Amino acid sequence: MGNTLPRVAWIGLGIMGSPMAENLLRAGYRVTGHTLEPGKLARLAAAGGVPAASVAEAVREADVVITMVPASPEVEAVAYGPEGILRHARPGALLIDMSSITPSTSVELARAAAERGLRVLDAPVSGGEAGAVEGTLSVMVGGGKDDFDAAAPLLGVLGRTVVHCGPHGAGQTVKAANQLIVAVNLQACAEAVVFLEKSGVDLAAALTVLNGGLAGSAVLTRKKDGFLTRDFRPGFRVDLHHKDLGIVTEAARAVGAAVPAGALVAQLVASLRAQGDGGLDHSALLRAVERLSGTEVRP
């Protein structure tokens, strides 16, 4: 089966990228990867992938190039640099950027890549580290429909919900909306936790019954145990959600959409980050609510 599948170059093997690349390897894809962390290259090799010393080396023979890096500057660096994708990928290759970046960056990348004979999809994801490991991510895709159809089998290995959302940049716009919803939901959950605890209610029982009704959500399902134990090991870091909320407010301003709740949570996330919690999971918004409520914050 592996000989009939496209050759994949994977750029960016972080918390999300490593398990996603490994899922492709398990599905029979040949994956050559590059990242700045040597330990992650060793992990890729152990899973059956081929480490590459540079972006250029990784993409040279690839049919599909996937990028999964933190933000727009990193996407631009791996795409446009002298050792970058646009200079070294073969004409006709499909570049799938799965990072979360500004819609305008995705549109410009697609334009520049087309001049080099490359096809592009923006395909950011939602579901966090657990979704990456389990292959159950939601993948929101912008770009040409034919390119989406060609990529759909590969994307189906990485996600359970894979949807073509429109032209270039549409995937990133939907991802921005996703991050808005997740942030507001996390803040509401954090406020509810503090409210319940200060009221003397059994928190575990309360969260269980709340999650069984209209207040239930994927956010509460994923983060409930962390709220109970104050386990904020990063599945998705505060730093990254801070970046994403900047994308939300910028993109909303550009189209004239009011996002008052999003703007408030963006400030709360920025405050949490300024207090030294940027490396924690974004569910650590609970710590910010505890501080505002005069509750002792656990180390």
- Model confidence pLDDT, tens digit, residues 89-132: 999 999 999 999 999 999 999 999 999 999 999 999 999 899 99
Task: From 154, 220, 161, select the one nearest 189 (Cα to Cα).
Answer: 220
* Torsion sign, CA atoms 77, 80, 81, 87: positive
Please, what is the Cα angle at 102 between 101 and 108, to 5 degrees?
105
Percentage of residues in the chain having pLDDT higher than 70: 99
* 250 pLDDT tier (thresholds 50, 70, 90): very high
Q: Is residue 298 predicted with pLDDT exceeding 90?
A: no
Q: Is residue 29 predicted with pLDDT exceeding 70?
A: yes
With contact defined as beta carbons under 8 Å apart, do 52 and 58 qualify? yes
- 3-class SS shares of the chain: helix, strand, coil, % to 5: 55, 15, 30
Judged by average pLDDT, the poorest of 2-11, 211-220, 265-274 is: 2-11
Q: Is residue 2 predicted with pLDDT exceeding 60?
A: no
Task: State the DSSP code for 275.
Answer: I
How high is the pLDDT of residue 3?
Answer: 55
How high is the pLDDT of residue 1?
Answer: 34
The rounded mean pLDDT for the chain is 96
Give the mean pLDDT of 26-55: 97
Classify each residue of 163-190 as buried b or exposed e, where b means 16 or more C-beta atoms within 10 Å of its C-beta. Answer: ebbeebbbbbbbbbbbbbbbbbbbbbbb
Given 40, 175, 223, 243, which residue is catalytic?
Answer: 175
* 299 pLDDT tier (thresholds 50, 70, 90): confident
What does each C-alpha distance from 139 to 24, 35, 67, 106, 133 come to in angstroms?
A: 15, 22, 14, 15, 14
Number of alpha carbons in the 13 Å side-chain half-sphere of residue 90: 10
Q: Which residue has the tokens 């009221």?
A: 199
How high is the pLDDT of residue 20?
Answer: 98
How high is the pLDDT of residue 30?
Answer: 98
Classify each residue of 10-49 as buried b or exposed e, where b means 16 or more C-beta atoms within 10 Å of its C-beta. Answer: bbbbbbbbbbbbbbbbebebbbbbbbeeeebbebbeebeb
175 is catalytic: yes
How high is the pLDDT of residue 297?
Answer: 87
Domains (range + CATH), the chain: 2-167 (3.40.50.720), 173-292 (1.10.1040.10)
Task: From 9, 158, 11, select the one nearest 77 (Cα to Cα).
Answer: 11
Give the mean pLDDT of 160-185: 98
Q: What DSSP element (H or E) covers 205? A: helix 203-211
Give the mean pLDDT of 206-215: 98
